[in-house]
Copies of this chain bind each other. A is one copy, B any other.
Amino acid sequence: MKEYEVYELLKKYGIQTPEYAIFEINQPLYFHTFPAVLKIASDKVVHKSDVGGVRVGIDSPEELEAARSEVMDNLQRHGIFLDMHDRFIVEEQLSGEEFYIGGIYDPIFAEVLLFGKGGTLIEIEKDVCYIDTEANEEEILRSFKTTKISRIFPSFRGRQYRIEDVVDVVQKFQKLFVNEDIAEFDVNPLLYTERGFVAVDARLKRGKKSAPKRRARNHDLFANEAVAIFGATDKKEKVGYAIAKNALQSDAHVYFVNPHVESLFGQKVYKDIDELPPIDTAVIAIPARFVIELVEKLALRGVKNIVIISAGFKESGNKEAEEQLSALAKKYDLNIVGPNCLGIYNSDKDLNLTFAKSAIRPGDIGLVSQSGAVLAALIDKAAAHGIGFSHILSMGNMADFDFADAIETLAKKESCRFINIYAEGLRDGKSFLQAIRKADKPVAVYKAGKTQEAKKAAFSHTGNISGDYEMLIGLAHAAGAVIKRDIDELIFAAKFANFDKVLIITNAGGPGTILTDIVVEHGKKMYELSDEEMARLDAVLPPTWSHNNPVDIIGDATAERYHAALQILHRPNLLTFVLVTPQFMTDSLAIAKVVAQYENTVPIFFGEESFAQAFAFCKEKNILCFNDLENVANIL
């Protein structure tokens, strides 16, 4: 499309453009609003400025004619010869801060806007944010605030910048992009003038778009009253054994199915599906080639929840079988989890349908992982630190049940207080964002595959394109998710999520300083000591104590001194770190025993060789502790 055609389209959506006039190549130029700009409008020219196709600062009709000759000369020098299809545009020259807005059609997120600082340096400055076309006002602002240019709002160097104008112009472009057949567009600059945003230079490409249609789900994946495990076995090296064993102690009815086994763990094993009592949930751990037939049989018997552990589908090149699963799910309105997954866990039924090695304890984290191995590792760590889960969902290949389904399902569960997601690549970004928006509990996202090398690794591992890291992170953040940069945070961060303020009691100033940096950089506040607390501390601490938080109780601090400080300062709503460095007289075990008496108090034994006993004590008593400073970020 030519620029003036774009202008007309923009006006239809209430987007301002400069006052302008269009002329054929040899037509005289009549224009009377100065200063003015002359621009070429030709399909043969993409970056007008780069070939001398723009002249600014034109102050009179004479200068305008001179500018025309100049532009034609410039173009000829670049080998561009104009013809009857080309036009000149003359428009009023506006001044103001340069912004940028553009639209792209992403394979995962469909229509996405980019908005931020404009100008010729945009590619190197990259001061733009991503905005979903379905983003509401709050979301638009949350996104915009991640740019540097947003800091000129509401005023900068004596000029006013109205944030309402940002919301207004973005919303107009959202409508334009969704309603029209536009494949992509670029407005640079989108000028912030006295009369608000004006699209000064616009480029637009027509094209049809089609977004994936999402299926409504009518059954709760975690309504698990009666479960059958297909492939339950007494062979200990098989996953069917592990799942059966993990599932044994449950409030749900659990049946085992295997034609080759008589009984398992003292329970009858059914020969096949036809013998079974009614079930609502099936777990399938049989060879891939038998899976499709079984799923269809289950569907015909009205089973709605099917968890496919079996591997041998898309990840092994068997795309067809995977598409059949997907089709069956649609046809029979099923929830199919997997294939190629670790299983699910449901604390509401005390039901562990995974083959994870370590025991899973009940808690309030709903953990969703696209990688079974990452899930296994996190479960293993959680077990060592006494961290519990409300639900666990191993997504596997996501033939059917996807991240949006997982978030929507967990959002409805009272026992789940945190929805924590490990993602490699999404399939349907729009519904993912919708689910985050609707969830009324915190959603945390860790995304793997940031660098090109890692994307290649992810591709060779799942066969999925992992998508653009910055876009996913930007959009998910705007939609309301918390972004995690360390995988361990998916299990550790929930515990102290509601604690805003931090207290540090330390026997050394330097490490106290480092920890303060880490605390503040992760968005927590340092608690301020009251005068009364100061006075009470003066009475029990050596005179050189820091008189500040971090409360440095000096290198020769004993367990008793730590105790005295905790007695004065401990508050149930304060996240307290007891930081211990290996000083000559430090009795770390005694300090660990003191800490064990206080809730929400986390010991950090910064060292290793000297602290073996303290670490062993914490492990035995199930007390979360650290041996370095940077890892403390995991719980902030």
Which residues of A pack against B, CB within 8 Å?
35, 47, 49-50, 57, 59, 120-121, 124-127, 148-149, 151-152, 156-158, 237, 239, 242, 315-316, 355-358, 369-374, 376-377, 380-381, 383-385, 422, 424, 448-454, 456-458, 460-462, 466, 486-488, 507-514, 516-517, 519-521, 526, 544, 546-550, 552, 555, 581-585, 606-611, 627-631
A377 adjacent to B582 (CB under 8 Å) = yes
The docked-state distance in angstroms from the alpha carbon of A106 to that of B505 is 33
Collect the chain B residues with CB atoms within 8 Å of residue A583's CB. Answer: 357, 373, 376
* A384–chain B nearest beta-carbon distance, Å: 4
The docked-state distance in angstroms from the alpha carbon of A50 to that of B155 is 12
* A438–chain B nearest beta-carbon distance, Å: 27
A383 adjacent to B609 (CB under 8 Å) = yes
The docked-state distance in angstroms from the alpha carbon of A466 to that of B509 is 13
Residue of B121, B237, B370, B509 touching A510 (CB-CB under 8 A): B370
B381 adjacent to A609 (CB under 8 Å) = yes
Extra 20 A-B pairs, beta carbons < 8 Å, given A49-B157, A239-B584: A124-B151, A124-B156, A125-B127, A357-B584, A357-B609, A358-B609, A376-B581, A376-B583, A380-B608, A380-B609, A383-B608, A451-B516, A454-B516, A457-B546, A457-B548, A458-B509, A458-B513, A487-B630, A630-B631, A631-B631
B453 adjacent to A380 (CB under 8 Å) = no
Known: A50-B158, A380-B611, A488-B630. A510 touches B371 (CB 8 A): yes
Nearest residue, chain B, Cβ from A611: B380
Nearest residue, chain B, Cβ from A51: B158
Contacts A/B (CB < 8 Å), 25 sampled: A121-B152, A125-B127, A239-B584, A357-B582, A357-B610, A358-B607, A370-B510, A371-B511, A372-B508, A373-B581, A373-B583, A374-B511, A380-B607, A380-B610, A381-B607, A381-B628, A451-B517, A451-B520, A453-B519, A453-B520, A453-B526, A456-B548, A457-B516, A460-B548, A461-B513
B555 adjacent to A373 (CB under 8 Å) = yes
Copies of this chain in the oligomer: 2
Known: A157-B49, A315-B544, A520-B451. A373 touches B121 (CB 8 A): no
Collect the chain B residues with CB atoms within 8 Å of residue A555's CB. Answer: 372-373
The docked-state distance in angstroms from the alpha carbon of A461 to that of B549 is 11
B383 adjacent to A546 (CB under 8 Å) = no
Kindly name the residue among A47, A125, A458, A509 whose own CB sees the greatest number of chain B CB atoms within 10 A.
A509
Residue of B151, B385, B486, B507 touching A373 (CB-CB under 8 A): B507
A120 adjacent to B157 (CB under 8 Å) = yes
B372 adjacent to A630 (CB under 8 Å) = no
Residue of B156, B460, B548 touching A547 (CB-CB under 8 A): B460
A582 adjacent to B358 (CB under 8 Å) = yes
The docked-state distance in angstroms from the alpha carbon of A31 to that of B304 is 86
Collect the chain B residues with CB atoms within 8 Å of residue A124's CB. Answer: 148-149, 151-152, 156
Collect the chain B residues with CB atoms within 8 Å of residue A449's CB. Answer: 513, 517
Collect the chain B residues with CB atoms within 8 Å of residue A35's CB. Answer: 57
The docked-state distance in angstroms from the alpha carbon of A629 to that of B355 is 23
Kindly name the residue among A377, A456, A511, A521 whose own CB sees the greatest number of chain B CB atoms within 10 A.
A377
Collect the chain B residues with CB atoms within 8 Å of residue A627's CB. Answer: 381
A460 adjacent to B376 (CB under 8 Å) = no
Nearest residue, chain B, Cβ from A239: B584
The docked-state distance in angstroms from the alpha carbon of A628 to that of B57 is 60
Kindly name the residue among A57, A549, A582 whose own CB sees the greatest number of chain B CB atoms within 10 A.
A582
* A263–chain B nearest beta-carbon distance, Å: 22
Collect the chain B residues with CB atoms within 8 Å of residue A151's CB. Answer: 124
Collect the chain B residues with CB atoms within 8 Å of residue A509's CB. Answer: 371, 373, 457-458, 460-462
